[in-house]
Structure 1
């Protein structure tokens, strides 16, 4: 079995003591945003051994491109897309989204448009016929109602700073079908937040496990600094990688603050044994 990507490159960089952004190829830096450059510069100062996995492929989310306007419609579309894509393949999610948009002149419907359709049996059936399960129709209606009834609060909430925890709490408490993971991913893809870390994510847990597996001194240091053990709820059957307690994973991530979002993408890369799969997954994630 092919070793995870971090193990492939660790031997080459184990003796590294320092690095900076100048060691990152200029064309790679130029393709990505300045904020991302600041993030990887900070990350490499904490751990220079991550250089090779960072520059292995571009990070689609952080490429220089025209930014989408941060409107209520944009936020609604991002959260609705998260609901549509739950527990199905990326291809199936894209197909459902395309069929839904076809009913609205090939644009993603606003909360106002869907609210109007939800009031009529024919409109509800038109939404359902795009391939949504009855449960997802319920979730989408819950999201729509939240936006209809709280537009001013939503504008305040999503335009704020340093309020990630509040946003996650509001979304998970008020919208059926939006759990902590979906709310955190919205912070990343919808609001462009740089210090998000979803400890409950399976791929992230595996990537962190691969990262820590050959760093016993770091694990010992993290263990000594823990306040209280917080067991992970993640389970896996193959038992071919170690699941670290959530508090240790969080302590590991905290070393890279305030750029834990970028670290999360790096850990997702470290969880994969295929560069092609890694690239496809990152592109699909950004395009949801």
Structure 2
């Protein structure tokens, strides 16, 4: 499998050189339920990793254990003031309630995500208040481990692409899609390489 992925990605000479330095990155799926993964994503929106972890732990501790995500019903039953007291903004509390409501209405759909297409999952999740395309892309990439995800709205991927392709400015979605076209159907691995490139190499495009 790794050889096949490497063979496809190496059609792009820039990625070929990144792979020579880093290898093909592993795409590791995270544990937990789809509901928990989306709760974590909402909490983490526009926060540093450390701040998101602190607030997430406080949220989980409200229900007894910092390592265990509360159920959708537990979140629905929690007063907004209680969430705000632990650092969850009013807006994010609204998003958590919207997610919990959607889960309680159609739990089976969430549990079937692994059988649905990327497009079907995206169309459904973005209909829930507070879940946008970036959140869905992170969910598809890190929770479901989907192999062909290009998060065009992610600043880190945009910066990485600007750096390694020596672009004059941050690329827009159309430019990113064009550059990543040769990576298909393994754009997730190119995405991971863009993040790695930010911290480790100089621009190498010719």
Name the counterpart of 2:84.
128
Secondary structure at 1:255's aligned position in 2? Answer: helix
Question: Which of 44, 53, 56 is the equivalent residue of 1:97?
Answer: 56
Name the counterpart of 1:184.
137
Does the CA-based 8 Å contact 2:27-2:145 persist in structure 1? no
Name the counterpart of 2:96.
140
Name the counterpart of 1:172.
126
Name the counterpart of 1:18.
none
Name the counterpart of 1:3.
none
Q: 1:59 to 1:79 in 2, by over 3 A?
A: farther
Shift of 1:90: 1.1
Question: Which of 71, 75, 97 is the equivalent residue of 1:114?
Answer: 75
CA distance in 2, matches of 1:42, 1:200: 24
Determine if the alignment matches structure 1 residue 159 to structure 2 residue 114.
yes
Which stretch shifts more, 89-98 or 246-255? Answer: 246-255
CA distance in 1, matches of 2:65, 2:123: 34
Shift of 1:37: 5.5
Q: CA RMSD in A?
A: 2.7
Name the counterpart of 1:268.
195
Determine if the alignment matches structure 1 residue 207 to structure 2 residue 168.
no
Higher relative contact order (CA 8 A, sep 6+): 2
Shift of 1:36: 5.1
Name the counterpart of 1:227.
none
CA distance in 1, matches of 2:143, 2:160: 24
* Contiguous gaps of at least 5 residues in structure 2: 201-206
Mapping for residues 1-288 of structure 1, pairs under 5 Å:
35=1, 38-44=4-10, 46-54=11-19, 56=21, 62=27, 68=31, 74-103=33-62, 104-106=64-66, 107-115=68-76, 117-118=77-78, 121=79, 124-156=80-112, 158-161=113-116, 163-173=117-127, 175-213=128-166, 241-270=168-197, 272=198, 274-275=199-200
For residues 70-100 of structure 1, give each alpha carbon's deviation from its aligned partner in whole angstroms, at most 9, with x where no partner exists. xxx6101111111101112111101011111
Q: 1:251 to 1:97 in 2, by over 3 A?
A: same
Does the CA-based 8 Å contact 1:36-1:62 persist in structure 2? no
Structure 2 length-normalised TM: 0.83
Secondary structure at 1:88's aligned position in 2? Answer: coil
Structure 1 length-normalised TM: 0.61
Q: 1:246 to 1:144 in 2, by over 3 A?
A: same
Larger Rg: 1
CA distance in 2, matches of 1:52, 1:42: 13
